[in-house]
Amino acid sequence: MPHSRRYRSSERSSRGSYHERYRSRKHKRRRTRSRSSSSERDRRHRREDSYHVRSRSYDDHSTDRRAYDRRYCDSYRRNDYSRERGEAYYEPDYHHSYEYRRSRDREGSYRSCKSSRRKHRRRRRRSRSFSRSSSQRSRQSSRRAKSVEDDDEGHLIYRVGDWLQERYEIISTLGEGTFGRVVQCIDHRRGGARVALKIIKNVEKYKEAARLEINVLEKINEKDPENTNLCVRMFDWFDYHGHMCISFELLGLSTFDFLKDNNYLPYPIHQVRHMAYQVCQAVKFLHDNKLTHTDLKPENILFVNSDYELSYNLEKKRDERSVKSTSIRVVDFGSATFDHEHHSTIVSTRHYRAPEVILELGWSQPCDVWSIGCIIFEYYVGFTLFQTHDNREHLAMMERILGPIPSRMIRKTRKQKYFYHGRLDWDENTSAGRYVRENCKPLRRYLTSEAEDHHRLFDLIESMLEYEPSKRITLSEALKHPFFDVLEMEPSTKLWDSSRDISR
C-alpha cells in the first residue's frame, strides 16, 4: 500500500536548499526503481512511483515539524484539526491511493506480455495483500478517480468529491489566480478538518515559484513551531502529477475582499489600529529573520474569521458590515526574498510599490514598510492611495501627495527619462495631469476627523511613506508609535523572540 513519505528530522533540519533536497530524492528514487525485486507489490509501487505524490506533513508541534490577491481569496474558514500522527490518520477505506487504482486499470496490457505462470503468482500475491470485503470495495469504487487531466492553461481538472493524495477530498473551489486555483478540502488524516489547498498550474515558472514559496514557509515553520508570528500556516506540500500543491490553514476573507463586499466602507479607526499593529508584527518577524515579503497588499492579509455583524444605514439606505474579529494572517510568500538571495529589479504590486523600486535604486526591507503605509491608508479611507498603472504618473501622484522627490534619489537613478533638469518631467495641463490634480491631494487632507487618534495615525503613515529608505521608519519603531499606545498588550500581540536566524 503506497503511503505518503515522511522524512526524519535530521533531513528536515539539513542546511541544504529545497532544490538540492528535491533533486537528490528524485535521483535516489530513480536508482531504487532500477533494482530488481521478487515482490509484485514492490514492482507495482515502483511502477507508480512516477505518478505517486510525495508529501511532507507538519501536523503537530514536535521538533521535527517544518514549520491571496483579490482574484482567489473567497471564503476561507478555519477549523481545528487532530494533532495525532501516523496510522491514526488512515481510515481503512483510504488505503488504496488514486494512483494505485489508475495503475490497476492499465494492468491488462502489462499482463498480456507475461507467462501464465507469472500471472497466476501475481494474482495470488495481490489477493493476499489487497483483499477487501465487498462492502469496502463498493465504498472504494464510489471514490474511484478518472485519469488526471489538465486544461489548456495548465489548471488541474477536478470535480467536487475528487480525492488527492488519498487524503484531501475536494468540497469547493475558493478562487482562481494566474498561479492556479485554491480549493477547500476535507483532510481525512486530520480528523476531517477543513483546509485550503493551493493547486499550482502545471507550468514550470509557476511550479518554480511554488517551490520557492515552500522553501520560505518551511523556514518560517522551523522558526515558529507554535504558529505565533501571524503568518499563514503551511501544513503539507506535495507534487501531484506535475501540480505543486500546498495545504494551508483555512482562513476568512482577505481584508480587501471584505472591504469590497462592504461597498468599500472604511474600517473604523479602532479596527485599523489592531489590524495595522498585527501586520507590523508579522512583517517585523520576517525582517528580523532577513526576509522581505515584497508583495504586501490588502489581498494578501486575511482575516482568521471574517464573520460579521450587519446593521442598516438609514442615511445611505444600505446594509453595512462590521467584522467581529480583526485577527489577521499574512499570506502569499511566493515572492518573499532572503537578504542573501538575488533581488529582482521590480517587485510589489503596482499600487504598493515603493519609489526606490520604481527608480531601480535597489530595495530591501524598507520597501515592505512603504507597502504597509499604503495598506493602512486604504483601510482608513476605503480606496487605494496610488490608483495608477504608469510609472511617471505614479511618481507625479507621490509628489502631489507627499511633496517633491529628493534630489539625491533623482541624481542616483538610472531612470532619467522620468526627469528633466533635476525635476519630474510632468505636464499638469495634460489629461493625465488633470487626473492627478483632481484625484490626489496632500496626505493630511484625507483626514476624516481632527481627533488626536486620527492625527497620530497620519503621523505614522507619513513616517512609513518617507521617500528615502534609510529615513523610513522601521517596524520596530512603528510598533512603539503613540498611535498604538491604547492597545492592550495581550499575549497574542506580544513581540516574538527573533534571536535565531532562519535565512540559511
Domain ranges in the chain are 149-226+233-249, 253-489
pLDDT above 80 for 8:
no
The span from the CA of 304 to the CA of 285, in Å, is 18
- Check: CB of residue 270 under 8 Å from CB of residue 325: no
Residue ranges of the binding site: 198
pLDDT tens-digit readout, 422-478: 999 999 999 999 999 999 999 999 999 999 999 999 999 999 999 999 999 999 999
C-alpha pair distances (Å), 443 with each of 293, 324, 457: 26, 30, 12
305 pLDDT exceeds 90? yes
Q: What are phi and psi of 19, to 5 degrees?
A: -65, -40
User: Model confidence over 395-411: pLDDT tens digits?
Assistant: 999 999 999 999 999 99
Q: What pLDDT, on the 0 to 100 scale, is given for residue 227?
A: 86
- Who's near 424: CB < 8 A, 6+ residues apart? 392, 395, 396, 399, 404, 405, 418
DSSP 243-297: EEEEEEE----BHHHHHHHTTTPPPPHHHHHHHHHHHHHHHHHHHHTTEE-----
Backbone angles phi and psi of 460, in degrees to 5? -65, -45
Q: Rounded to the nearest 10 degrees, how much is the dihedral formed by the CA atoms of 113, 115, 118, 120? A: 100
- Residue 121's pLDDT is what? 54
Q: Report the share of the chain in percent with pLDDT over 70.
A: 68
User: Cβ-count burial of 407 within 10 angstroms (0-12 exposed, 13-18 middle, 19+ buried)?
Assistant: exposed
Instruction: Taking residues 23-44, report their average pLDDT.
Output: 46
Q: Would you say residue 277 has pLDDT above 50?
A: yes
Q: Is the pLDDT of residue 388 over 80?
A: yes
Report pLDDT digits (tens) over 240-262: 999 999 999 999 999 999 999 99
For domain 149-226+233-249, give the CATH number: 3.30.200.20
Average pLDDT over residues 481-495: 69
Look at phi and psi of residue 115 and say left if phi exceeds 0, alpha if psi is from -120 to 50, else beta.
Answer: beta
The residues that are catalytic are 295
Task: Identify the pLDDT of residue 146.
Answer: 54
pLDDT at position 55 over 80: no
Condensed to tens digits (0 to 9), the pLDDT of residues 161-191 reads 999 999 999 999 998 888 999 999 999 999 9
Domain 253-489 sits in CATH 3.40.1190.20: no
For 420, phi then psi, to 5°, come to -145, 120
95 bridge partner residues? none
Q: How confident is the model at residue 116, as a pLDDT?
A: 53
pLDDT given at position 147: 73
Return the HEC string of 150-178. ECCCCCECCCCCCEECCCEEEEEEEEECC
pLDDT of residue 315: 87
Position 317 scores a pLDDT of 87
The pLDDT of residue 310 is above 60 = yes
pTM recorded for the entire structure: 0.70
Beta bridge partners of residue 310, listed in sequence order = 321
Please determine whether the domains at 149-226+233-249 and 253-489 fall in the same fold group of CATH. no
Binding residues for ATP: 198
Q: Which amino acid is at 149?
A: E
DSSP 231: B
Q: What pLDDT, on the 0 to 100 scale, is given for residue 74?
A: 35
Would you tell me the crossing angle of helices 366-381 and 269-288 to the nearest 10 degrees? 170
Closest CA to 303 of 356, 254, 372, 235: 254
Q: Which one-letter amino acid corresponds to residue 103?
A: S
